[in-house]
Amino acid sequence: MRFKWIIWLFFAFLLSIQAQPLEEMEYTLRFGFIKGGKATLVAQNEKINRIQTIHYHMRGRTTGIVDKIYEVNDVYESWVDPETFLPIKSIRAVKEQNYRFYDEIIYDHINDSLFSLKSGHHKVPDQVNDLISVFFYIRQNHYFESLLNGVVVQIPVYHGDELFIMELKYIGIETIETKIGLKECYVVSPKVPRGKLFKTSDDLKIYITKDTNRLPIYAEFGLLLGSLKCELNSYKINGINQMTDQ
């Protein structure tokens, strides 16, 4: 199973972070009835080279039986400009079985370029994002409202020494059972290549609560070899639990 792509797409699930002083989210990943992994995100204000940024630290790892079969422990970090919401720096540190990968990227948005420790300088499109910053960028620049109006959002993303266009589309509204009771949710779907990992291009669904918090509370992945479900287990701001039934 191409578990690194599952972790990659799970990070896409973390759509609704709002850059509070210290924000923490934890998700549980399940393969059917088997608890197979955990993903965490911490977002906080931080200075880098005397520049104020929002620092996102994401970690995805396998647990239990799945960890014994195929161990994954991936870390993604992104420092974004709080005014433009574009990335200043990003780090990708991958540990999957015996495979290791590490890269740091510095972004130059004035000259539409970036520098990768792995591959050097690259020219990129205007407003290019990394894999983490793209979803914060979409939310903070009012793209979410465009999604609800039926617009397919497209943003250039640089990841793994490759440039691609991230697309999201709005599916509709559903009410689902969650850890904090029944929740009415917006359902959105990132577009992915058909047949690579999913049964169809619509087999990834993200459920975002239809309230002021807009929490990405649940996701379903219809994989070729089964299904993966992700559920928000913990959400804290400055250490205070925000998972309350409203």
pLDDT digits (tens, 9 = 90+) for 29-43: 887 778 888 888 888
**Ranges 104-118, 122-136, 182-196, most confident:** 104-118
DSSP line for 158-170: EETTEEEEEEEEE
Judge whether 202 and 189 are in contact, CB under 8 Å: yes
Question: Which conformational region is residue 143 in: left (phi greater than 0), alpha (psi within -120 to 50 degrees), or beta?
Answer: alpha
Judge whether 39 and 58 are in contact, CB under 8 Å: yes
> pTM, whole model, 2 decimals?
0.82
DSSP line for 1-30: --HHHHHHHHHHT-------SEEEEEEEEE
DSSP line for 178-244: ETTEEEEEEEEEE---BTTTBSSTT-EEEEEESSSS--EEEEEEEETTEEEEEEEEEEEETTEE---
pLDDT of residue 29: 85
Amino acid in the structure at residue 149: N
Extract the tokens encoding 234.
């913990």
Give Cβ neighbours of residue 70 (< 8 Å, ≥ 6 apart).
1, 3, 62, 96, 97
pLDDT digits (tens, 9 = 90+) for 56-83: 998 988 898 888 888 889 999 999 999 8
pLDDT of residue 193: 47
**Ranges 103-112, 151-160, 235-244, most confident:** 103-112
Judge whether 245 and 181 are in contact, CB under 8 Å: yes
Q: How many residues comprise the chain?
A: 246
pLDDT band per the 50, 70, 90 thresholds, residue 185 = very high
